Amino acid sequence: MKPTDQTLMKQMHISIEEIEYRRSLLSLSHQELQQLVDLGGQIDLEYLLDQVVITFYQQQTSISEIASLIGDIDTLSRLQHAQRQYLVELFSGNYDANYVNNRLRIGLVHKRIGVEPKLYLSAVYHLKIMLISMIQQQLGDTENFHQIRSTLEKLFMFDISLVVETYVWSLVSELKASKEKIEQYASVLEDRAQQMEALSQTDPLTGLLNVRHLNRILNSTIYAAERSLEPVTVVFIDINDFKIINDNFGHSKGDQILKVVADAIRFVARLDDHCFRCGGDEFCIVFPRCTEAQALESFVPRLLQYVYHIEPSITLSIGVKQTDHVDGYLDASTLIHEADAKMYLVKKQQKIKK
């Protein structure tokens, strides 16, 4: 729900029961509040409030900081009108949700226009002193006056607590909004970093992993295999006569063939296999939990069949090398080198057959 669909009381979770509880904490009874209402029948309250507003703003505008905040005569006039309405509500007898919302709004407005709490609190102090002093001039130093003064003291304290609480609530809301913005920004940065990381790990032409990460990933795979005594197999692939294809048909044809082989590797490989383009026309696949025999029986035939189905003119030379706990695990560089050597042996044998 949008803030504009709720009152400040709703947003700050202040209920009618909470209002009554706050009054009880100040021992502010309905009988005492009724005395404020009855005051209008004892003195010329309208005239008195007008005099309080005039005197109050004469005192306030003598403070340069406050005069600067007010700024101009039109704003001063609006403030005088709002101040008089505030005083009228003190003696209205309606100390309900509307009364509380108006007090909360005072705090919110003062916060938004940059009036610091020290200025607000000092202004309320002077307003209270002026109001009580002028009432005393009308009633004299009577028991009735002292009862009204006590009630006004409590009611001003009730109002101040609401205004100050709105200041705090507004600050917390701003901090929460700032925190959410920071978290959103951090999330965007994290997504961007992940995208950049993915781009740095991926060959832009084929979408396979970049060879820069081959040794790291293969070593990690071998370490994991050593703990569980499982085999790791590396398959090294070279496209036969790729240079001739590039020279005769151009690099666009060569790129197309590289993509066909990459797509075939991605299609035939398992989800947890690691598929790399090693640069030029060479590819490398790391198979966790896979033996050399399994790779030769399953992966290689299906790869050749897929490539032949898409581009019958393409032939591949493939070397396969396993490492395991039986013969002792090879390090990444040695395993790659031996798979590469087997691939070149296969290529040499294919040329002899031709």
Residues 308, 234 share a domain: yes
Order of all β-strands in the sheet with 232-239: 209-210, 274-279, 282-288, 232-239, 316-323
Rg (CA), the chain: 42
Q: Are 262 and 212 in contact (CB under 8 A)?
A: no
Supply the DSSP string of 234-288, one letter for each residue. EEEEEETTHHHHHHHH-HHHHHHHHHHHHHHHHHHS-TT-EEEEEETTEEEEEEE
For residue 317, the SS3 value is strand
Cα–Cα distance measured from residue 307 to residue 223, given in angstroms and rounded to the nearest whole number? 33
204 within domain boundaries? no
Cα–Cα distance measured from residue 5 to residue 239, given in angstroms and rounded to the nearest whole number? 67
Residues 305, 218 share a domain: yes
Residues 154, 12 share a domain: yes
196 within domain boundaries? no
- What H or E segment, with its residue span, contains residue 321? strand 316-323
| CATH number for the domain harbouring residue 221 | 3.30.70.270
| CATH number for the domain harbouring residue 85 | 1.10.490.10
Token pair for residue 188? 């965007």
122 within domain boundaries? yes
Q: Side-chain half-sphere of 342: how many Cα atoms within 13 Å?
A: 18
Kindly report, residue by residue over 89-144, the tens digit of the pLDDT. Answer: 999 888 888 888 888 888 878 777 777 888 888 988 999 999 999 999 999 989 99
Residues 292, 226 share a domain: yes
Place of tokens 């992940």: 194
Residues 125, 10 share a domain: yes
Per-residue pLDDT of the chain (354 residues; tens, 9 = 90+): 677 777 888 888 888 898 889 889 999 898 999 999 998 888 898 999 999 999 988 998 898 888 888 888 888 888 889 889 989 999 988 888 888 888 888 887 877 777 788 888 898 899 999 999 999 999 998 999 999 999 999 999 998 998 888 888 888 877 888 888 888 888 888 877 776 666 567 898 999 999 989 999 999 999 999 999 999 999 999 999 999 998 898 989 999 999 999 999 999 999 999 999 998 899 999 999 999 999 999 999 999 999 999 999 899 999 999 999 999 999 999 999 999 999 999 999 887 776
198 within domain boundaries? no
- Note down the domain range covering 340: 209-353
Cα–Cα distance measured from residue 90 to residue 162, given in angstroms and rounded to the nearest whole number? 14
In 3D space, the residue among 310, 315, 321, 320 whose CA is nearest the CA of residue 350 turns out to be 315
The residue among 119, 149, 183 that closes a domain is: 183
Q: Please give the tally of structural domains in the chain.
A: 2
Q: Are 46 and 37 in contact (CB under 8 A)?
A: no
Q: Are 232 and 225 in contact (CB under 8 A)?
A: yes
Residues 92, 140 share a domain: yes
Token pair for residue 36? 């404020």
Residues 271, 173 share a domain: no
The residue among 148, 183, 218 that closes a domain is: 183
Residues 216, 154 share a domain: no
